């Protein structure tokens, strides 16, 4: 279980990456209640983590990548994140400016309560999830932006075949989602809605759902309040081989 609490600088970030042509697999250790391959804790900042596979988190409250405390300005790219007992990625509300790019999140969750295991669970401010494939969370959502988040961007992803909603935004009590941008994604064949909202507390503001292709989601493509919904396309995305993630 790797815990990163060191920082680079904006001009000289710390880079942890694969050797060209190789694909290191970072698996969860054992011996703790929650075993997580990678934690990004207070003090972690200006990091680039590229080209790794992270897998097999175990425990009742676990994630393959867990960002907590004051972690900020971290770039996660070209990763495969798979087979966590609960979340693929989880960030606390105190984190900021973590970006997930060009990565493959799949088959995370399934060993916790239904609707509480997700491929990606985002709280915090200024995060970006872009150009990634997010699929097959059997118990939960592809991406949950909830309940305390500000200015999270979800752009250009393919989100498919998750057990519940493809994307959920929402709130709980006094914490809520504001300034979310859900733009230009392909969201298809999820077990409930393509994009949905759940305002268990205050309804969020300044949220935009725009230019997404939604298709074949079991309960319907959109069930969104508390957001401006624009230019939705309902069309078959014409995947090559969806069962293989192609």
- The mean pLDDT of 218-242, rounded to a whole number, is 97
Q: How far is CA 226 from CA 18, 62, 169, 179, in A?
A: 41, 30, 9, 11
Q: The tokens of 243 are what?
A: 């069962």
Q: How far apart are CA 201 and CA 30, in angstroms?
A: 38
Kindly tell me if the per-residue pLDDT of 115 is higher than 90.
no
Kindly tell me if the per-residue pLDDT of 166 is higher than 90.
yes
pLDDT in tens, 183-211: 999 999 999 999 999 999 999 999 999 99
Residue among 171, 167, 180 nearest 208 (CA): 180
Global pTM value = 0.97
Q: Alpha carbon 231 to chain centroid distance?
A: 24
Percent of the chain at pLDDT > 90 equals: 96
Confidence of residue 244 (pLDDT cuts 50, 70, 90): confident
pLDDT value of position 243: 85
The dihedral over CA atoms of 34, 35, 41, 45, expressed in degrees to the nearest 10, equals -150
Percent of the chain at pLDDT > 70 equals: 100
Kindly tell me if the per-residue pLDDT of 228 is higher than 90.
yes
pLDDT value of position 230: 97
pLDDT in tens, 144-156: 999 999 999 999 9
E strand residue ranges, 96-237: 96-101, 104-106, 120-125, 128-130, 133-135, 143-150, 153-155, 158-160, 167-171, 177-178, 181-183, 186-188, 193-199, 208-210, 213-215, 220-223, 228-230
Q: How far apart are CA 217 and CA 106, in angstroms?
A: 18
- The mean pLDDT of 63-68, rounded to a whole number, is 98
Average pLDDT along the chain:
97
């Amino acid at each position: 279980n790797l815990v990163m609490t060191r920082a680079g600088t904006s001009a000289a970030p710390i880079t942890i990456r694969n050797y060209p042509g190789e694909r290191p697999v970072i698996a969860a250790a054992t011996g703790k209640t929650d075993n997580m391959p990678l934690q990004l804790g207070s003090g972690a900042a200006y990091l680039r983590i590229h080209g790794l596979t992270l897998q097999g988190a175990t425990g009742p409250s676990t994630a393959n990548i867990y960002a907590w405390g004051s972690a900020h300005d971290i770039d996660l790219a070209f990763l495969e994140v798979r087979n966590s007992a609960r979340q693929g990625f989880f960030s606390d509300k105190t984190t900021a400016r973590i970006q997930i790019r060009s990565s493959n999140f799949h088959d995370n969750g399934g060993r916790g309560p239904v609707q509480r295991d997700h491929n990606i669970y985002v709280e915090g401010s200024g995060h970006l999830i872009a150009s990634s494939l997010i699929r097959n969370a059997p118990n939960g959502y592809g991406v949950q932006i909830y309940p305390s988040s500000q200015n999270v961007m979800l752009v250009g992803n393919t989100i498919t075949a998750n057990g519940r909603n493809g994307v959920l935004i929402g709130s709980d009590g006094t914490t809520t989602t504001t300034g979310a941008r859900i733009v230009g994604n392909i969201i298809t064949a999820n077990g409930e809605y393509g994009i949905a909202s759940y305002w268990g507390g205050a309804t969020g503001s300044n949220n935009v759902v725009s230019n997404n292709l939604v298709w074949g989601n079991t309960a319907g493509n959109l069930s969104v309040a508390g957001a401006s919904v624009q230019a939705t396309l309902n069309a078959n995305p014409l995947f090559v081989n969806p069962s293989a993630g192609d």
